[in-house]
A = this chain, B = another copy of it.
Amino acid sequence: MKTFRAIDPSTGKELEGDFQAAGKEDVGKALALAEKAFAVYRNIDKDTKATFLLDIAAGINAIGDQLIERAMAESGLPMGRLQGERGRTTGQLTMFANLVKEGSWVEAVIDNAQPDRQPAPRPDIRKLLVPMGPAVVFGASNFPLAFSVAGGDTASALAAGCPVIVKAHPAHPGTSALVAEAIKEAAQKNNLPEGVFSMLFDDGYAIGEALVKHPKTKIVTFTGSFNGGTALVKLAQQREVPIPVFAEMGSINPTIILPAALVNRYQQIAEQYAASITLGTGQFCTNPGLLIAVESEATNKFKHALGGAIEKMVPSTMLTPGIHNNYAKLSAAILLEKGVGLLGKSESANSNKANQAVPLVAEVSAADFLKNPKLCEEVFGPFSLLVIAESAAELQLVIEALPGQLTASVVADADDLVIYKEPINSLVNIAGRVILNNVPTGVEVVPSMQHGGPFPATSDGRFTSVGTGAIKRFVRPVAFQNWAPELLPPELKDGNPLGIWRTVDGVFTK
């Protein structure tokens, strides 16, 4: 039996606790249980589903300090951040519990029969969203709580009525085990079938692949690298019955910093962005990895201020040795690309801790940027590249050359909004979320959130992985024609027994 251990990235040493890597037979078992559970769970009443989600949140809180301590040891993230992330995780579970309890998310539509219609009567037709089946959730390394075992993907899948099989991220198996236990207890407490939730460990790729290929798997969610995400998408497309993979794969989150804003407040912008670039050791999907400005006196001052602000930043621990190696390699390599120069680098580069990321900002001319597609690739960590355009026209060329992004931001003052209206509006073409005078880091968990952008930022920019909309990744519509009233789901019954919002004969009503 193969086991593995977690590594404390701040020391590079193994932590206590052996975790057993799953075998292929475990994949089959988990999916057989999930399919069996689906037959029951898909029709479970909405209050039980909501209670289940709330019980998971309560269970996570009940673990107490042990969870935070283990997550700190496994991720190198500081206590405050992980406490905040725990709050976000239980907040997400609560949000989906409320969504499910309210019930209107199923988008019920009823068109009553028209028996007298000519030339033929119109039948009664009613439609709602139904869950698609077992979902495989890949835990993400960069949010060991909020995008891992009981994170947004699991919460939204369970809310939709889909059983979940988590492939635990090998960087935080202890954290994963604690949270999985809380989910299992909540399932038992609510008398839900065992297969509503399972988790499998593996420190390689075999189990993840087997989960995606298994015919009983109906949906896959993933947050990680472009290579990882596209590999899973390919596996899913090659199945006899292809399935959707929602992969969030990375983004350089361009920020246009416009002239009037720079004249008025270059120092403040430099400090604000230096903080955003280094937040969480730069390990957010929405890290501002690309800044774009137009050449000017104020831009020169901004460059100087940004370089200075980055020099004052202190290195911090990355999530894993692999991520750290990659960051060290890529942030060094980019300085060797044609025309790229160093703008600033943390000056407190030495540390007695392992896997420390050195914050770094580079610069390049728009002309060189436009010739080198490599400069559009993500450097995961506390890094950003400042692109200097010669003119507004060249700024527009840079925007048009960008691949799909999670976010695109603008730093602008009143004059900029008038003069640069077209490039600002064009950001909608490339991103899932556009932001004015705010940093892209910090993804609010609200119904209006769109966390998903055009390829290659995500595999499917039509969906979001954050906010209530995330539930839509696990469902499809089914229409019931002339269906027997007693067989209709409660959401579609006459008299609206659940009291939800529905579209009845074209009118939105409750």
Contacts and interface: CB of A to CB of B under 8 A. Distances in A.
B477 A432 contact: yes
B433 A481 contact: yes
Nearest to A447: B109
A333 interface: no
A401 interface: no
Interface string A468-501: 0100000111111111101100000000000001
A106 to B, nearest CB: 13
Interface residues of A, number: 63
A32 interface: no
Interface in A79-118: 104, 109-111
Given A109-B448, A449-B127, A478 B433 contact: yes
B123 A424 contact: no
A110 B447 CA distance: 8
A434 interface: yes
Contacts of A425: 487
A333 B501 CA distance: 51
Contact of A448 (B111, B431, B438, B450): B111
A338 interface: no
A476 B437 contact: no
Contacts of A111: 444, 446-448
A448 B404 CA distance: 33
A204 interface: no
A477 B487 contact: no
B479 A433 contact: yes
A105 to B, nearest CB: 11
Nearest to A460: B244
A455 interface: yes
B448 A127 contact: yes
A450 B476 CA distance: 10
A402 to B, nearest CB: 12
A448 B479 contact: yes
Contact of A434 (B432, B437, B447, B483): B483
Given A242-B455, A462-B477, A477-B462, A448 B126 contact: yes
Given A444-B123, A478-B432, A478-B433, A241 B456 contact: yes
A40 interface: no
Contacts of A123: 438, 444
A359 B130 CA distance: 37
B242 A480 contact: no
B484 A434 contact: no
A110 B449 CA distance: 9
A225 interface: no
A450 B461 CA distance: 23
Contacts of A508: 104, 501, 508
Contact of A435 (B104, B444, B481, B501): B481
Contacts of A125: 444, 446, 448-449
Given A421-B487, A477-B432, A120 B456 contact: no
A419 interface: no
Nearest to A438: B482
Interface string A302-324: 00000000000000000000000
Given A241-B456, A469-B477, A479-B433, A127 B450 contact: yes
A59 B480 CA distance: 35
Nearest to A422: B39
Contacts of A396: none
Nearest to A450: B479
Interface in A379-403: 403
Contacts of A437: 482
Contacts of A469: 477
A296 interface: no
A206 interface: no
Nearest to A451: B479
8 contacts: A123-B444, A432-B477, A434-B480, A436-B487, A448-B479, A452-B477, A501-B508, A508-B508
